[in-house]
Structure 1
Amino acid sequence: MTNLTPENTLVAGHRIAYGIEGSGEPIVLLHGTPAFSHIWRNVAPRLVTANRRVYLYDLLGFGRSERPADPQVDTSVTAQLPILLDLFDQWGLDRAHIVAHDIGGAIAQRLAVFHPERIISLTLIDAVSFDSWPSPRTRQQIAAGLDALISASDADHRAHTRSWLETAITNPDRLTDGTVDAYLEMIAGPVGQASLYQHQIAHYDAKHTMDTGARLGELATMPVQILWGENDAWQDVAWAHKLHGAIPGSSLKVIEGGGHFVMESHADRLVDEILAFTSTHPG
């Protein structure tokens, strides 16, 4: 498995794994759930080759970053924003292009509303927004209590989670090269299984996007593009149109045949769109 976050730093006492490569215009990549920086493995190298300086990290409670043993540690979208701001300062970044997927997109929306001065341009990819999340299925799981899922056998958990992940990738060929196994490895086992429910799913809450959703009109002067998989089974493309309508001047491109993990099936198209957009809006 390619490790895109080989470095570590402390933010508010918690270990965050990160990576920086390349030179040129700064681009910060924000992953979503239940993923980690691995999702950018077919995107980041091409951005570096195109003379971009790429910054990425695993959110607290995700991937190679610390998965706190204490379930009371706040790893919600709202709590992730101060971590991002701290990383900006550690990296010496005043401003950057932001490219964000899924709940990374929710963090990016909060950054755009509360700290617009830190953003050169914003690219939202199949992002959660408004009350688009959690899905009805996940709402039922949360309402029923997550303890049973936390304590499920490893085999049952892996089977359940694998079937869930497979719905995020539209290209069946991607399912046979270890792609799903790479994601599954981080959210299974004695640490990953509990962390998935305590530090990811437990914080699936639209309150973190409803407040910013009401203020997206303030982004009228910010360059914003929205990229969306046509066949996203987790965030229906209708949400892309709602986001587009809420952000004056934004552009929207729907990627034919793409699913929620559109960077798995259409990485080249994503890179082309990111490069074109950031070139049009240099820092």
Structure 2
Amino acid sequence: MLIAEQSIEVGGLRWFYLEANGALAGIPIVLLHGMPAHSYAWREVIPDLAQAGFRVIAPDWIGFGESSKPDKSEFTYSPEAFLKALGGFLDGLSIDRCILVVQGFLGSVGVQYALRFPKRIKKLVILNAPLSTAAKLPGRLKQLGWPLLGDMLTQNPLSVDNALEYGGWQIENVDLAIYRAPYSSSGDAGRALMLSVRNLQLAAATAEIATGFAPWKKPGAPFDVLVVWGAKDRYLGESMGKIFADAHSQIDLEIIPKGGHYPQEHYPKEVNEAILRFLR
């Protein structure tokens, strides 16, 4: 399955994205990565979903990977800025409605987008993202946003390794090198990461998520939701996904028993099978 590297400029921001086109016409799947990763996180997911017939698009968030890394005077790296940019990206690709798959910290922004614009969402899949006000930004990510220390850590590409691997399970060196590359090639990537961590507004985001899913406690919710949860997540814990699903009778849950914070890294087969079962 051919995965093409594409880019589009919207509102002065350049989005890099991966795209694979399945044989079927229909609603596309948009995959949104978490911090401090980029679209490479979906390398084992894209082919299977495309092989099943879907058009699959995996962008680098603004500030990450190969996408633009604007100065903070031009882009605040806040949820509101990411939400506006995401809407522009979808408009730029003429995507009126999609199946949205989100993961991790920044995944919360994808969830916020789905709740605010439900008519643009056919189905939502959530992989190990902060879903409760009990969620806290873990120390290994939080320190990347601290004054002075954050400036230093985000200019050290090895900090990216530490943040990725602490989420659970070791990542191969060849893959870490690809994740590390944007931070090795330019200081702009580190500054964008620092600002994204600093301005994530996690407490407000999770409060919006907690109240926003009230319609999923009874039949008639705006769209179907699946939570796929890596049980060995050192950042968000084993129980958050289950507690969230148990509280919302219209939300499905799939547990990846040995998966960590980035379950698609080590258990892509199980993740892909869970997503495809949900989409059929």
TM-score over 0.5 for the pair = yes
Count of residues in correspondence between the two structures: 269
Q: Matches of residues 100-119 of structure 1 in structure 2 within 5 Å?
A: 100-119=102-121
Question: How far did residue 7 of structure 1 move?
Answer: 2.1
Q: Matches of residues 122-271 of structure 1 in structure 2 within 5 Å?
A: 122-131=124-133, 132-136=135-139, 138-139=141-142, 142=145, 145-151=146-152, 157-170=156-169, 172=170, 174-176=171-173, 178-188=174-184, 189-198=186-195, 200-206=196-202, 207-219=204-216, 221=221, 222-271=223-272
- Taking the aligned partners of 1:161 and 1:7, their CA distance within structure 2 comes to 24
In structure 1, the partner of 2:123 is 121
Contact 1:8 1:15 in 2 (8 A): yes
Give structure 2 stretches of 5+ with no counterpart. Answer: none
Identity %: 24
Length-normalised TM-score, structure 2: 0.86
Matching of residue 13 in structure 1 with residue 12 in structure 2? yes
Which consecutive segments of 4 or more residues in structure 1 shift more than 4 A? 136-142
Length-normalised TM-score, structure 1: 0.85
- Taking the aligned partners of 1:153 and 1:49, their CA distance within structure 2 comes to 37
| The one of 69, 72, 78 aligned to 2:71 | 69
Question: How far did residue 230 of structure 1 move?
Answer: 1.1
- Taking the aligned partners of 2:154 and 2:249, their CA distance within structure 1 comes to 48
Question: How far did residue 112 of structure 1 move?
Answer: 2.3
Contact 1:22 1:48 in 2 (8 A): yes
- Taking the aligned partners of 1:31 and 1:60, their CA distance within structure 2 comes to 11
* 2:8 partner SS: strand
Kindly tell me: are residues 196 and 277 of structure 1, through their superposed partners in 2, closer, same or farther at Cα, counting changes over 3 Å?
Answer: same
Kindly tell me: are residues 153 and 163 of structure 1, through their superposed partners in 2, closer, same or farther at Cα, counting changes over 3 Å?
Answer: closer
Q: Deviations over 1:111-130 (max 9, x none)?
A: 22211111111110001223
Contact 1:36 1:183 in 2 (8 A): yes
Q: Deviations over 1:216-255 (max 9, x none)?
A: 1124522111001110111112221232134331011110
Contact 1:5 1:37 in 2 (8 A): no
Give structure 1 stretches of 5+ with no counterpart. Answer: none
- Taking the aligned partners of 1:138 and 1:54, their CA distance within structure 2 comes to 29
* 1:237 partner SS: coil
- Taking the aligned partners of 1:76 and 1:191, their CA distance within structure 2 comes to 17
- Taking the aligned partners of 1:180 and 1:164, their CA distance within structure 2 comes to 11
Kindly tell me: are residues 130 and 5 of structure 1, through their superposed partners in 2, closer, same or farther at Cα, counting changes over 3 Å?
Answer: farther
Kindly tell me: are residues 148 and 139 of structure 1, through their superposed partners in 2, closer, same or farther at Cα, counting changes over 3 Å?
Answer: closer
Kindly tell me: are residues 89 and 233 of structure 1, through their superposed partners in 2, closer, same or farther at Cα, counting changes over 3 Å?
Answer: same
Question: How far did residue 108 of structure 1 move?
Answer: 2.6
Question: How far did residue 79 of structure 1 move?
Answer: 1.9
Contact 2:230 2:261 in 1 (8 A): yes
Matching of residue 92 in structure 1 with residue 89 in structure 2? no
Question: Partner amino acid for 1:226?
Answer: V
- Which deviates more, 201-210 or 55-64? 201-210
